[in-house]
């Protein structure tokens, strides 16, 4: 049965993501700007997980200490700390790092402007715990990797993609390519428009509506109605909701920012990373679906169950995210 593989993946993803991912886990962000030979303006942004902000702490060079008067405030789904840090020997040529119980859960995007104007950008966290401040780091590969991770670890975007494939089936390559292309083009358009501040939407309503898009696609597959746009022209649904998901991708990118002077290239690489992650998912699902076709036959109840799980989880996300909008209104 061609939908059995998609159904299994939908169910596994929904059960894995669970209620704790009512909000997508975004990277943390550390920005350091030199204001004198020894003083630095530091912004430290940690996303909220279950029970509060992630347990992460920046490790600054020896001889650096925060001055009195730092402030904490909530911004979207993150806790932000602003400090003025004084370093007796400056930070040029030193390293910054990250520590804490959540190091394995989230990466930290780092942007540093040194006293002479040089930019150092990079990612520390899972695979690298320190970043050298000896020169202009190259953020290109980092933004590519962040894009891949955002798609593969973003439960809501990934669940929507799997539900789309479930709605379409994995045996008809023509409609499959058409649908995936429509989704790609659409979210690339709005990602670019939003990241470059041409069209900007509030993050919270976008995230709530993204959850609704999952519930809609799951419901359309469950209804099985013929002759509707969703059943006959899946690419139209993919394009329309792709526009919405692009704003969701842009919201995540806004949390970490784009490095000055390299915004266009970093945006391009982030989008390419998203597409590579998406391509990997599609190839894996189609491959598994074709291998399973004709070999696995499941009762209709088992085929439909993953859609109920996905739809129910999406409804839960929508309620949680809408509640946050009301709470912060």
Tens digit of each residue's pLDDT (9 = 90 or more) over 61-105:
999 999 999 999 988 778 899 999 999 999 988 999 988 877 666
Same domain membership, residue 72 and residue 172:
no
Specify whether the CB–CB gap between 148 and 273 falls below 8 A. Answer: yes
Q: What is the pLDDT of residues 255-277, one digit of tens each?
A: 777 777 778 888 999 999 999 99
Report the C-alpha gap between 209 and 163 in whole angstroms. Answer: 16
Specify whether the CB–CB gap between 200 and 145 falls below 8 A. Answer: no
Instruction: For residue 36, give the 3-state DSSP assignment.
Output: coil
Residue 149 domain flag: no
- Domain of 18 in residue numbering reads as 4-24+154-327
Label residue 206 by pLDDT band (50, 70, 90): very high
Query: Domain total for the chain?
Result: 2
Instruction: For residue 86, give the 3-state DSSP assignment.
Output: strand
Closest CA to 184 of 173, 176, 196, 172: 176
Same domain membership, residue 72 and residue 19:
no
Specify whether the CB–CB gap between 195 and 250 falls below 8 A. Answer: yes
Q: Which of 76, 109, 137 is the last residue of a domain?
A: 137
Residue 182 domain flag: yes
Please state, in angstroms and as integers, the Cα–Cα distance from residue 260 to each residue in 114, 119, 167, following that order.
Answer: 13, 8, 41
Same domain membership, residue 282 and residue 213:
yes
Label residue 297 by pLDDT band (50, 70, 90): low
Instruction: For residue 50, give the 3-state DSSP assignment.
Output: coil
Summary count for the chain: helices (H), strands (E): 9, 11
């Amino acid at each position: 049965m061609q939908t059995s593989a998609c159904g299994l993946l939908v169910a596994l993803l929904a059960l894995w993501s669970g209620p704790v991912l009512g909000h997508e886990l975004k990277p943390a962000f550390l920005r350091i700007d030199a204001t004198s030979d020894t003083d630095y303006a530091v912004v430290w942004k940690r996303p909220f997980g279950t029970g509060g902000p992630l347990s992460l702490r920046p490790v600054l060079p020896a001889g650096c200490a925060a001055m009195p008067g730092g402030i904490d405030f909530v911004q979207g789904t993150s806790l932000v700390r602003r400090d003025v840090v004084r370093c007796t020997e400056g930070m040029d040529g030193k390293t910054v790092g990250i520590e804490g119980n959540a190091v394995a859960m989230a990466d930290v995007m780092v942007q540093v402007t040194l006293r002479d104007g040089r930019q150092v950008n990079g990612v520390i966290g899972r695979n690298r715990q320190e970043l050298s401040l000896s020169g202009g780091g190259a953020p290109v590969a980092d933004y590519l990797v962040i894009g891949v991770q955002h798609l593969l670890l973003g439960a809501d975007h990934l669940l929507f993609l799997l539900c789309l494939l479930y709605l379409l089936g994995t045996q008809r390559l023509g409609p499959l390519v058409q649908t995936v292309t429509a989704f790609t083009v659409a979210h690339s358009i709005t990602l670019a428009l939003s990241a470059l501040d041409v069209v900007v939407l509030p993050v919270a309503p976008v995230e709530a509506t993204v959850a609704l898009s999952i519930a809609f696609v799951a419901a359309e597959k469950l209804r099985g109605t013929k002759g509707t746009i969703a059943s006959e022209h899946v690419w139209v649904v993919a394009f329309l909701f792709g526009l919405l998901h692009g704003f969701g991708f842009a919201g995540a990118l806004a949390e970490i920012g784009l490095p000055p002077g390299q915004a266009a290239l970093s945006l391009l690489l982030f989008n390419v990373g998203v597409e590579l992650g998406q391509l990997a998912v599609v190839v894996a699902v189609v491959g598994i679906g074709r291998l399973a076709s004709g070999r696995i036959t499941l009762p209709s109840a088992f085929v439909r169950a993953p859609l109920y799980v996905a739809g129910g989880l999406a409804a839960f996300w929508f309620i949680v995210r809408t509640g946050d909008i009301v709470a912060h209104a």
